Structure 1
Amino acid sequence: MARRNRRTALSGTAVGYLRVSTAEQADSGAGLDAQRMTIEHECARRGWTLVEVFEDRGVSGKSLDGRPALTEALGAVDDRTAAALVVAKLDRLSRSVHDAAGLLDRAQKSGWTLVASDLGVDTSTSAGEAMANVMATFGQLERRMISQRAKDALAARKAAGVKLGRLRTLPDEFVERVVEMREAGSSFAKIADALTAEDVATAQGGQRWYPSTVRAVLLSQR
């Protein structure tokens, strides 16, 4: 789609951005269709024209890297193809405080508006910017807490004298998650990448997952 010059961009126009991670594809509340509907309703409520919707499938929100649809969406508002970027949930855009802060600054400097409809965030207002920063902080905190719970469970088992092994020390909640992701059609590599990106600790407390590790977890459940 041809980009418009900044001077000819129309107010009341927006682009939408959708994202689902591998772990979330089976969750209808975070699915692409649900996000698209929310974005369409938000634009209609504001009287905005939705110019285009960009989708990233099966990618983490931890980093802005490796998300081609987001790159296109940001390019659209930066060069004034549209005046606003709308997401259904702020964590669809970013779970990193650093990245979220950078996007807020980018929006301000480039003169476009960021809207997250789940929180009523609207960066055209001071209150909206403050809310976006607060929620991005809690999103990053949640990821760190998930990882810390796994590490705490490992430490507790060590203290109790449990013989440690990769399969035996992985908390049940994470074993169940791996099984669900596999049943949803994710490959071993995609599951490993998703868990690594979200800072979920392995059974040994490590930060890096591998396809072989995921496969071993699944085999232990048979």
Structure 2
Amino acid sequence: MRQFVTYKRVSTAEQGRSGLGLEAQTRDIGIFLETYAEEPFEVLAEFTEVQSGGADDRPELAEALELVRKAGAELLVAKLDRLSRKVSFIATLMDDKRVKLRVAAMPSADKFQLHIYAALAEQEREFISLRTKAALAEAKAKGTKLGGLRDKTGKRNKAVQAQALRGAERVAGIVVPLRSQGATLREIATTLNSSGVPTARGGQWQASQVQRVLQRLEAAETPQEGR
């Protein structure tokens, strides 16, 4: 019989008390068990943590992992970031042969795909943090005076460009190494699709989209090289 140990996490005590986020995680785990779990199955235990995903000291997760290793069960989480926001933590966990990990939102993902998702998510968070700091510094330097229509249009265009670059940065960890190894645009698109990595709009990759990603990344690096 297939056995599962479920783990849910919210970031703050307020979320834990109100149930914010927990209902969605419970729903996703339920969908996985009803639709994708091999029958018969048994849920040995359910663990819920109120703690940041970047914190190392998480007693509920430690207890869940101990039960998983002891019983030979699978650890089931709703989303990968509920387990941890650190790719190093997830990579170490996946290297543990006594731990079997399943993610409800990615029911067919293997260890390689989960590792890619974790790396992309961490990369995106780092970029967002840098972008936010840069935006705050720019706003501080310029003051709080609002511009007219032209300024608003310029800001809107910059926002669109930033979003496009953010999407390129999201897959840079896959696209750039493959391209440097001589992979064609079509081969890179095929790799992204087979790995379950969607485009910014949730669709399938084409060679032309991969080319635009490379162009955006190259354009973003050019000003830095001239400094």
Q: What TM-score range do you get, normalising by the shorter chain? A: 0.5 to 0.7
Q: Flag the structure with larger Rg.
A: 2
Partner of 2:47: 54
Change (3 A) 1:87 1:121: farther
Runs of at least 5 residues in structure 1 that lack an aligned partner in the other structure: 1-10, 123-127, 164-222
Q: Does 1:117 align with 2:110?
A: no
The Cα shift of 1:72 comes to 0.8
In structure 2, distance between residues paired with 1:41 and 1:51:
17
The answer to whether the 8 Å contact 1:17/1:70 transfers is yes
The answer to whether the 8 Å contact 1:121/1:129 transfers is no
In structure 2, distance between residues paired with 1:157 and 1:40:
45
Task: Tell me the SS of whatever aligns to 2:106.
Answer: coil
In structure 2, distance between residues paired with 1:24 and 1:90:
22
Q: Identity percentage over the alignment?
A: 40
The letter for the 1-side match of 2:124 is E
The answer to whether the 8 Å contact 1:114/1:121 transfers is no
Partner of 1:143: 125
The Cα shift of 1:113 comes to 1.9
Q: Deviations over 1:60-84 (max 9, x none)?
A: 1124x2211111111111112x520
Change (3 A) 1:32 1:91: same
Partner of 1:74: 65
Partner of 1:85: 75
Normalised by the length of structure 1, the TM-score is 0.56
The letter for the 1-side match of 2:60 is A
Task: Tell me the SS of whatever aligns to 1:54.
Answer: strand
The answer to whether the 8 Å contact 1:20/1:60 transfers is yes
Counterpart of 1:95 (choices 78, 85, 91) is: 85
Runs of at least 5 residues in structure 2 that lack an aligned partner in the other structure: 145-227
Partner of 1:20: 10
The answer to whether the 8 Å contact 1:54/1:73 transfers is yes
In structure 2, distance between residues paired with 1:60 and 1:67:
9
The answer to whether the 8 Å contact 2:79/2:103 transfers is yes
In structure 2, distance between residues paired with 1:141 and 1:105:
21
The letter for the 2-side match of 1:83 is A
RMSD of Structure 2 on Structure 1 (CA): 2.6
Normalised by the length of structure 2, the TM-score is 0.55
In structure 1, distance between residues paired with 2:117 and 2:30:
22
The answer to whether the 8 Å contact 1:16/1:53 transfers is yes
In structure 2, distance between residues paired with 1:34 and 1:43:
14
The Cα shift of 1:51 comes to 1.2
Task: Tell me the SS of whatever aligns to 1:49.
Answer: strand
Q: Deviations over 1:166-208 (max 9, x none)?
A: xxxxxxxxxxxxxxxxxxxxxxxxxxxxxxxxxxxxxxxxxxx
Q: Which has the higher helix share?
A: 2
